[in-house]
Amino acid sequence: MVETKKILVCGAGGFIGSHLVRRLKDEGHWVRGVDLKFPEFGAVEADDFLIGDLRDRRTCERAIDGRFDEVYQLAADMGGAGYIFTGEHDADVMSNSATINLNVVDTCHKRNIRRIFYSSSACIYPAYNQIDPDHPNCAEDSAYPAAPDSEYGWEKLFSERLFLAYNRNYAMQNRIARYHNIFGPRGTWTGGREKAPAAICRKVAMAPNHGEIEIWGDGNQTRSFLYVDECVEGTLRLTRSDFEGPVNIGSEEQVTINQLVDLVCDIAGKTLHRNHVPGPQGVRGRNSDNRLIAEKLGWAPSESLRSGLEKTYEWIEEKVNRADPEAAGAASRSSPAEWPKERVA
Ligand code: NAD
């Protein structure tokens, strides 16, 4: 019989957090979620859900009010390229996320909770190793000398060091993963914080066959994308292992943004023209390097990008067709000149 654990998920109202809560409930655990908001899509599945601001120490103390067997710290001020690479949100991103992390780790330490999972990001990797789109270097030990290309990445690097410092000085056992572009149903798909797979699915779903969609840059920038169920699996395996990390949790199936668009078009059964426009793009190339996770945990994700995109496209297409009046209107317009000028990050 599986032992029932008491588990806290910070950021449980967010995309990965809500999937994590569902998985933990499926495993039979007692789960408390904490977030500024309830999950946007779907019901609250946690046993207890605290609405609160983790920048406030008192909220942290209310959320972490006793023993927890596992704590997952996913709360952060984040978004896709249109949010974190424009520079317009740098001060908020850095101060909000750093304050949350400072509060969570110290409150856990004071409550004698020894292990926190922390979600870092591929955005910590140095820009100088991600110039060649075909051969980016994202091995874990390439993080230093540090040169992330965004303040979001710098904050993640600071917080990695923060959690590791608590391990060294206070005998904590925090675990750190560097997520690489997680996607799937129930993620932000519109509004400016959405990431490339969701934005592309939305644009493709909105466009009439033989229409066009906008893409930031020439579309030859490379990335890999990991389906959210695999992310949750890797997260649980790391948290429950003896390995501290930091370790990549991502897919090694690298594609260009143009290839990603073609894949989504193929799933949708549409032929669309790609209109390349200037916009924030992040680094030129990025791919997960899964050698360390394979060595330490004997695991690597296996689901294909296509299979994850099929599920994601179906979910977003349904949202576009039923929930969003502007999108429904755009889809019904006949002339490309009349479509909303939204962009793909
Ligand atoms: P998300 O934005 O959907 O979830 C983050 C949640 O944190 C949100 O629900 C938000 O309301 C909450 N939050 C923000 N500020 C808060 C505050 N002050 N108090 C309480 N809650 C607050 O993002 P996600 O995609 O689910 O990402 C989860 C974590 O994984 C984040 O730390 C993110 O930086 C990291 N990550 C995600 C990706 C990805 O591709 N999604 C990649 C790398 C790293």
Mark whether 118 is an active-site residue: no
Q: Which residues on adjacent β-strands are paired with residue 162? A: none
Q: Give per-residue pLDDT as tens, 100-149.
A: 999 999 999 999 999 999 999 999 999 999 999 999 999 999 999 999 99
25 residue type, one letter: K
State the pLDDT confidence band at 323, using cuts at 50, 70 and 90.
low
Amino acid identity of residue 81, one-letter, is A
pLDDT > 60? residue 1: yes
Q: How far does the centroid of ligand 1 lie from the alpha carbon of residue 266, in Å?
A: 30
Sign, Cα dihedral of 188, 193, 199, 205: positive
Amino acid, single-letter form, for residue 121: S
Q: What is the whole-number distance in angstroms between the Cα of residue 75 and the centre of ligand 1?
A: 5
pLDDT in tens, 247-291: 999 999 999 999 999 999 999 999 999 999 988 788 899 999 999
Phi, psi for residue 250 in degrees, rounded to 5: -165, 180
Backbone phi and psi for residue 273, each to the nearest 5 degrees, phi listed first: -85, 135
Is pLDDT at 345 greater than 80 in this prediction? no
First-last CA distance in the chain: 45
Catalytic residue among 152, 166, 179, 227: 152
> What phi and psi values does residue 333 have, to the nearest 5 degrees?
-70, 145
